[in-house]
């Protein structure tokens, strides 16, 4: 790569070798590595494409990349030490790269499942219940992939119910209707409930970390799913060692929706207070509430976060739209909260894919 091409920011191509399958191809300088690979028809492991799910996380063995987002929020300490990158957030910055992703050699395990219940929670969010042919083991906060033959790619959804130490066969999800979204359009119009499909094994790095610090939980829309699972797990799985101290922690839950009619599961969340030993505060935040008798918080979630005390000594867990999470990260860091205490899962659709 010449210096002239760098200064002119011209498009150039780099070579990349992908281990352990030892495939070598060219990738473009104006696209993420993942996008270049997908454009060439390669089935590289991925889901969210915005640096949240970590499915595409790969070890950078050789070469340099420009990273579009801070991977420290989502990769484990061990992955950071071993120079892992998020392929969906990395642009090549050297003529030759070598990356390694062990998932490329792993056979995808698909578990038969069927839809057994669909319940409307708001005008655009349903509670979906599915039954698996075999139990799965997961941490509260993780997700699975829905796999249908007629979809171009799997759809990822976080479990909303707590896991069972003996395995769980019945899973619940809070799913938002995405206008013109191929899967959710089909799902919301579905009349015949007994639909069979496949799911993946649970995965994801969004789960409760062992700590005694106060927790700030932020949920935007259907982003309540993994937050709800974590709270339910702490309260009703007190046999688990990690949960015995978590219920003593102070909790503030900021639940961001558009208007009062978009709130759901509030009675259940209020009931959680009866079991919690520490302080437990629920703060609904309405971004579009107008001309009503609402006396609570209005505006955007990051604006309300900015008003909370003692942010720098807390742990922050967030799920919802990417823009909400990005704004909240800015606020939290402004208050001095370390990136080591910030955890999130960005809920995305195709409109959120970063283009460079």
pLDDT one-digit tens code per residue, 222-259 = 999 999 999 999 998 766 666 778 899 999 999 999 99
Q: Are 341 and 317 in contact (CB under 8 A)?
A: no
> Is the model more confident about 139 or about 105?
139
Q: Is 276 exposed, middle or buried (0-12, 13-18, 19+ CB in 10 A)?
A: middle
CATH code matching the domain that covers 111-199, chosen among 3.90.550.10, 2.40.30.10, 3.40.50.970, 1.20.120.1810: 2.40.30.10
Q: Are 282 and 257 in contact (CB under 8 A)?
A: no
What is the CATH architecture assignment of 3-105? Answer: Roll (3.10)
Q: Residue 98 pLDDT > 70, yes or no? A: yes
Q: What percent of the chain has pLDDT over 70?
A: 92
Q: How confident is the model at residue 349 (pLDDT cuts 50, 70, 90)?
A: low
Alpha helices, H only, 142-240: 182-188, 224-236
All CATH 2.40.30.10 domain ranges of the chain, comma separated, are: 111-199
Q: How confident is the model at residue 97 (pLDDT cuts 50, 70, 90)?
A: very high
Alpha helices, H only, 94-249: 182-188, 224-236, 243-246
CA–centroid distance for 199 within its chain: 17
All CATH 3.40.50.80 domain ranges of the chain, comma separated, are: 215-352
The chain-wide mean pLDDT, for the chain, equals: 89
- Name the nearest CA neighbour of 205 among 110, 307, 84: 84
Q: Are 32 and 91 in contact (CB under 8 A)?
A: yes
Whole-structure pTM value: 0.79
- The whole-number pLDDT of residue 23 equals 87
CATH code matching the domain that covers 215-352, chosen among 2.40.110.10, 3.40.50.80, 2.30.30.40, 3.30.450.30: 3.40.50.80
All CATH 3.10.20.30 domain ranges of the chain, comma separated, are: 3-105
């Amino acid at each position: 790569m010449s210096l002239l091409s760098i200064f002119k920011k011209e498009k150039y191509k780099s070579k990349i070798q992908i281990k352990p399958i030892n495939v070598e191809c060219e990738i473009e300088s104006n696209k993420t590595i993942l996008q270049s690979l997908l454009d060439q028809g390669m089935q590289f492991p991925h889901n969210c494409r915005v640096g949240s799910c970590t499915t595409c996380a790969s070890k950078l063995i050789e070469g340099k990349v420009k990273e579009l987002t801070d991977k420290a929020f989502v990769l484990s300490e061990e992955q950071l030490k071993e120079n892992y990158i998020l392929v969906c957030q990395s642009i090549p910055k050297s003529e030759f790269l070598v990356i390694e992703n062990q998932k490329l050699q792993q056979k995808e395990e698909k578990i038969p499942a069927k839809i057994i219940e669909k319940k409307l929670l708001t005008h655009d969010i349903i509670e979906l219940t599915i039954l698996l042919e075999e139990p799965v083991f997961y941490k509260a906060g993780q997700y699975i992939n829905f796999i249908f033959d007629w979809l171009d790619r799997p759809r990822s959804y976080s479990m909303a119910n707590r896991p069972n130490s003996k395995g769980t066969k019945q899973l619940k999800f809070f799913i938002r209707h995405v206008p013109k979204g191929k899967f959710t359009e089909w799902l919301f119009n579905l009349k015949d409930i007994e639909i069979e499909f496949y799911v993946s094994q649970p995965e994801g790095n969004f789960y409760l970390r062992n700590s005694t610090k106060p927790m700030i939980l932020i949920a935007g829309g259907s982003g309540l799913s993994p937050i709800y699972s974590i709270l339910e797990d702490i309260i009703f799985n007190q046999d688990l060692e990690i949960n015995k101290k978590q219920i003593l922690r102070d909790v503030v839950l900021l639940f961001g929706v558009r208007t009062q009619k978009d709130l759901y599961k509030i009675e259940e969340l209020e009931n959680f207070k009866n079991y919690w030993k520490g302080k437990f505060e629920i703060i609904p935040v309405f971004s579009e509430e107008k001309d009503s008798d609402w006396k609570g918080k209005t505006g955007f979630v990051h604006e309300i976060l900015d008003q909370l005390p003692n942010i720098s000594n807390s742990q922050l867990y967030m799920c919802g739209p990417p823009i909400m999470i990005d704004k909240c990260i800015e606020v939290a860091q402004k208050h001095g909260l370390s990136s080591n205490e910030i955890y999130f899962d960005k809920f995305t659709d195709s409109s959120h894919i970063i283009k460079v």
